Amino acid sequence: MQLRLTCKPADALAASLLAIAAITLVAFAQDSPPPAPTDVLIKNAAIMTATHGNIPNGRIYIKDGKIAGVGPKVSAPSGVTVIDAGGKYLTPGIIDSHSHIALDGDVNEATSPITPQMMMIDAFDYHDKSIYHGLAGGVTTSLLLHGSANMIGGQAIVIKHKYGLNRDAMLFPGAPRSIKFASGENPKRVYGSRNQLPSTRMGNFAVQREALVQAQDYMREWDAYNAKVKNGDKDASSPKHDLKLEALADVLRGNLLVQIHCYRSDELLTEIAMAKEFGYKLRAFHHALEAYKVADQLAAANIGIATFADWWGYKEEAWDAIPWNAVLCMRKGVRVAIKSDSEDFARRLNQEAAKTMRYGGATEQEALQMITLNAAWIIGVDDKVGSIDVGKDADLVIWDGYPLSSSAVPSKVFIDGTVYFDRSLPGFGMPYYKEGM
C-alpha cells in the first residue's frame, strides 16, 4: 500500500500493465479441471488383460471411466468415441508400488527414527514433471512413500498420473492408507552418523519395539477412557491426543497397510516376528533383495514383495541380490511386484518386468502382473485397477511395439477412460497440460 502512495503516474501505469500481465500468466497457468469422462470404444487392439490371457483383435468399451466390456466382440452404443488401436498391444496401466517422485525432496523427516505422523500428502508437489515422465512410460498409478531414513517413516499417498490437473484430482479415490517402515543400513547410518540411537540393527529394532509398546499403552489409556465414558462416567478425563501414537495405534488396529523397506533375510524374519508379537499385519517388503532365501515364510504370512528386477551391489545389504529373486519368490507363492524407487526407472517398468521372463522364466502374464495386478494388491487397490476386467477403472496403455521388450514405447495412456498422454501430439504430448503450469 505504501508503494502505491509513492507511485508516480508512469510507475502506476507500469504497475498496472504488470498486473495485467500477471493475471494473463495466471490464467494461462491454471490447472485443468477434471475432464468429464467420455464413453469410448477401443477396437482392433491386442489386449493383454493381466488376468485372463490375451485377446488378439479385442475391444474395450469404456463407460463413465470404467471398463464396461472387454472381449473379441464387444458392442457399444452408437455415438461413443471410437479409437482404432491399429492392432497395437494394449495393457493395463502400469502401477508403481514404490516411488518417491513429486515430493520436492521432502522424502525423509530424518530428525527422529519414529515419525509415523508424517503425511506425504503435505509434501505432494503435483506439478513435478516426474509424474509426466512416468505417465509417458505408461505409469497410471503410483504409491508415493516416505523414505527409509526412519524405522517408521510416514503415511503414503496413492496418485493417478493425471498430469495437468489440480492436486486433489490426482489422488486415487478410496485408496487405503499405507505406512512406510524401514530397517537395516539406512536408519542405522542416518542416526549412527550423528551418534544417536539407532546405530546398529539391535538399535533399529529396539527403537521400533519401544514405539510399538508406547502405542499399546496409548491404546489402553484410550480404551479405558472410552469404556468409562460408555459407562456414563462424566468425570473421566481424556488422555492426551498424540498424533504419533495415534498413527501407530492405527498400525496395531490394522488400519494401515504396512510397507517395509528391508533387504536382508534375517531382518525379513525379524520384521515378521515383530508383527506377530504386536499383532499387526505386513502388506509387503520393499526391495526385499534376499527374499528368495526365505520365500516360504513370506508366502506363509501372505506378505508381498516390491522388488527390483536386477539392481544389486549398491550397498552391503544389496550384495546378495540376484536377478532371479522375483521369480524364485513367485514360484514359492509370494506376490511379487517390480517397482521403480526411481524417477528414472519409473519410465520403463515394462522393461524391468520383462527381465523376469529372462531371469527365471516368468510367463508373459506373470511378468505383466508384476507391474500391474500384484503392484495394485500391494497398494490395496487391486479391486479397482491392475487388470483389464469389467468394472475396473479404464487405466490403459496402447503401445508402439511389444510391451515386454527393450524397445516398446507407450503410444496412448488412458486414466479413468481419458487420454492423458498421446505420443503423437506435439509439445509434451499431453492434452490436459499447458506449459507454464
Interface residue with other proteins, options 270, 323, 389, 437 (CB under 8 A): 323
Interface residue with other proteins, options 106, 125, 343, 422 (CB under 8 A): 343
Interface residue with other proteins, options 55, 95, 102, 354 (CB under 8 A): 354
Ranges of H-type helices in 359-416: 364-369, 373-379
E strands, 248-309, in order: 257-262, 284-287, 304-307
Q: Is 328 in the site for other proteins (CB under 8 A)?
A: yes
SS3 readout for 329-341: HHHCCCCEEECCC
Q: Which residues sit opposite 90 in a β-bridge?
A: 47, 398
Q: Is 427 in the site for other proteins (CB under 8 A)?
A: yes
Q: Is 299 in the site for other proteins (CB under 8 A)?
A: no
Judged by CB under 8 A, the stretch of 39-47, 48-56, 78-86, 349-357 that binds other proteins is 349-357
What string of DSSP letters covers 163-193?
Answer: TTB-TGGGB-TTPPPEEEE--THHHHHHHHT
Cell of 420: 492423458
Find where cell 515386454 sits.
404
Q: Is 358 in the site for other proteins (CB under 8 A)?
A: yes
Q: Is 351 in the site for other proteins (CB under 8 A)?
A: yes
Of residues 126 through 145, those in contact with other proteins by CB under 8 A are: 129, 132-133, 136-137
Q: Is 185 in the site for other proteins (CB under 8 A)?
A: yes
- What does residue 421 show for φ and ψ, rounded to 5 degrees? -145, 135
Judged by CB under 8 A, the stretch of 51-59, 110-118, 144-152, 308-316 that binds other proteins is 308-316
Judged by CB under 8 A, the stretch of 4-12, 73-81, 140-148, 313-321 that binds other proteins is 313-321
Q: Is 68 in the site for other proteins (CB under 8 A)?
A: no
Judged by CB under 8 A, the stretch of 82-90, 107-115, 200-208, 319-327 that binds other proteins is 319-327
Interface residue with other proteins, options 248, 256, 408, 415 (CB under 8 A): 408
Interface residue with other proteins, options 109, 210, 246, 320 (CB under 8 A): 320
* C-beta closer to other proteins: residue 122 or 344: 344
Binding residues for other proteins, total number by CB under 8 A: 45
431 CB-side CA count, 13 A:
13
Q: What's the one-letter identity of residue 166?
A: N
The radius of gyration of the chain's CA atoms, rounded to the nearest angstrom, is: 24
Q: Is 238 in the site for other proteins (CB under 8 A)?
A: no
* C-beta closer to other proteins: residue 244 or 355: 355
Q: Is 391 in the site for other proteins (CB under 8 A)?
A: no
Least Å distance, CB 275 to other proteins, is: 23
Question: What region does 226 belong to: left with phi over 0, alpha with psi -120 to 50, or beta?
Answer: alpha
Contact in structure between 70 and 53 (CB atoms under 8 Å): no
* C-beta closer to other proteins: residue 115 or 356: 356
* C-beta closer to other proteins: residue 250 or 267: 267
Question: What region does 378 belong to: left with phi over 0, alpha with psi -120 to 50, or beta?
Answer: alpha
* C-beta closer to other proteins: residue 278 or 312: 312
Q: Vertex 196, ends 192 and 198: CA angle to 5°?
A: 65
Please list, residue by residue across 356-388, b when 16 or more beta carbons sit within 10 angstroms of its beta carbon and e when fewer do: bbebbebebbbbbbbbbbbbbbbbbbbebbbbb
Judged by CB under 8 A, the stretch of 83-91, 198-206, 239-247, 316-324 that binds other proteins is 316-324
Interface residue with other proteins, options 404, 413, 415, 419 (CB under 8 A): 404
Q: Vertex 102, ends 131 and 119: CA angle to 5°?
A: 135
Q: Is 80 in the site for other proteins (CB under 8 A)?
A: no
Q: Is 109 in the site for other proteins (CB under 8 A)?
A: no
Least Å distance, CB 426 to other proteins, is: 9
User: Rounded to whole angstroms, how far apart are CA atoms 317 and 319?
Assistant: 6
* C-beta closer to other proteins: residue 232 or 427: 427
Q: Is 313 in the site for other proteins (CB under 8 A)?
A: yes
User: Rounded to whole angstroms, how far apart are CA atoms 364 and 232?
Assistant: 62
Ranges of H-type helices in 184-264: 185-192, 201-230, 243-252
Q: Is 287 in the site for other proteins (CB under 8 A)?
A: no
For the four alpha carbons of 231, 237, 238 and 239, in that order, the dihedral sign comes to negative
Residues of the shown chain interacting with other proteins in the complex, contacts defined by CB under 8 A: 129, 132-133, 136-137, 185, 292-293, 310-316, 318-324, 328, 343-344, 347-348, 351, 354-355, 357-358, 400-401, 404-409, 423, 427-429, 435
